[in-house]
């Protein structure tokens, strides 16, 4: 039982490691796709990827889904950066495929090692395969939130420069989305969506509230609240943005101080379990060896 469980855990870890490696290599593939689009490539290299995506989405369309949980799933997908209408079907299909694949792998492992624990191995494999896409989605949401929070100070500084140079808030949002596209693509994509919503006829306050709801970043929520209040009361946008920029710099400085104060506590574990044992071996090891060399002959002679 223990051997089968350990092999199943090893396969699960290997599966997650492969997914992470594929995710890390996605940046290179995205760069190749951009170069291919510029060069006028027909896109044959991505044909298999699109076929796989369509197949998984078709499988997900047959998976029963709760209408009550569907808005929550779509909100999570949007926060992760997936805005395709069939993204929830792809997620459901990916869960079904992962559960089936790991359950099949668990069957093979259980039949080879411990046939008595076949049902337990199938259950563990199916649960791990079903939960893995959700965990990867949560990790992508956290990474995207962090990227938006990292790019927000630069976007805010550029907004201050644009507003003080005479641009309106709508033109400022467009300009920031264009200028920071390569440095901070996540926040620029969200600002581009705000621009599209305002062009479609939505009010500026509603578009900004949708921006805060899509991202879920606290700093961006504060900026949206400031912009909405400024637009409502007719105060100076440039002065408000500059004051909020200074406020965010102060908050960032306080967060850096907080992280620095936590550093000694975080260093206790690696120092105690990694540094001190090697230090003891280097300092006390020769002394113990010398003592053994001198004491053992005396004990044997006595």
Listed in sequence order, the DSSP H helices in the chain are: 2-24, 26-39, 47-61, 70-79, 87-113, 118-164, 169-179, 185-199, 204-215, 218-233, 237-266, 268-270, 276-301
What is the tens place of the pLDDT at every residue in 129-170?
Answer: 999 999 999 999 999 999 999 899 899 999 999 999 888 889
Average pLDDT of span 207-228: 92
The rounded distance, in Å, linking the Cα atoms of 273 and 280 is 11
List of domains in the chain: 2-144 (no CATH), 147-263 (1.20.81)
The rounded distance, in Å, linking the Cα atoms of 50 and 62 is 19
Residues 143 and 23: beta-carbon distance below 8 Å: no
For residue 249, pLDDT beyond 80: yes
The rounded distance, in Å, linking the Cα atoms of 18 and 22 is 6
Tell me the pLDDT of the chain averaged across its residues: 83
For residue 5, pLDDT beyond 80: no
The overall pTM is greater than 0.75: no
The rounded distance, in Å, linking the Cα atoms of 124 and 103 is 8
Average pLDDT of span 26-46: 49
Average pLDDT of span 119-123: 87
Three-state secondary-structure class, residue 268: helix
The rounded distance, in Å, linking the Cα atoms of 1 and 150 is 47
The rounded distance, in Å, linking the Cα atoms of 8 and 246 is 52
Name the DSSP letter for residue 46: G
For residue 43, pLDDT beyond 70: no
CA distances from 132 to 8, 73, 179 (A): 14, 15, 36
CA distances from 234 to 131, 163, 166, 231, 238 (A): 49, 14, 16, 5, 12
Token duo for residue 174: 């467009």
Residues 189 and 172: beta-carbon distance below 8 Å: no
Residue 257 has a pLDDT of 93
Residue 209: pLDDT band (50, 70, 90) is very high
The rounded distance, in Å, linking the Cα atoms of 22 and 45 is 16
Average pLDDT of span 78-104: 91
Average pLDDT of span 178-205: 92
């Amino acid at each position: 039982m223990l051997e089968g469980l350990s092999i199943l855990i090893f396969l699960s870890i290997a599966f997650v490691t492969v997914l992470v490696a594929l995710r890390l290599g996605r940046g290179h593939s995205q760069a190749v796709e951009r170069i291919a689009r510029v060069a006028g490539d027909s896109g044959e290299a991505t044909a298999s990827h699109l076929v796989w995506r369509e197949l998984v989405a078709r499988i997900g369309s047959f998976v029963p889904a709760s209408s009550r949980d569907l808005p929550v799933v779509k909100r999570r997908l949007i926060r992760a950066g997936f805005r395709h209408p069939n993204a929830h079907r792809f997620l459901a299909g990916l869960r079904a495929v992962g559960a089936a694949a790991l359950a099949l792998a668990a069957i093979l492992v259980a039949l080879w090692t411990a046939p008595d624990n076949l049902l337990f191995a199938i259950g563990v494999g199916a649960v791990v395969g079903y939960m893995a896409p959700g965990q990867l989605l949560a990790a992508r949401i956290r990474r995207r939130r962090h990227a938006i929070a990292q790019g927000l100070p630069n976007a805010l500084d550029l907004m201050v420069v644009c507003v003080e140079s005479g641009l309106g808030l709508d033109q400022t949002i467009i300009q920031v989305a264009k200028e920071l596209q390569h440095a901070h693509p996540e926040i620029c994509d969200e600002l581009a969506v705000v621009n599209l919503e305002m062009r479609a006829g939505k009010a500026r306050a509603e578009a900004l509230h949708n921006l805060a709801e899509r991202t879920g970043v606290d700093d961006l929520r504060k900026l949206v609240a400031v912009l909405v209040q400024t637009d409502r009361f007719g105060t100076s946008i440039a002065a408000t943005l500059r004051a909020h920029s200074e406020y965010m710099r102060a908050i960032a400085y306080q967060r850096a101080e907080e992280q620095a104060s936590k550093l000694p506590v975080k260093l206790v574990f690696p120092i105690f379990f990694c540094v001190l044992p090697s230090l003891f071996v280097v300092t006390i090891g020769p002394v113990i060896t010398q003592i053994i060399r001198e004491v053992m002959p005396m004990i044997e002679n006595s």
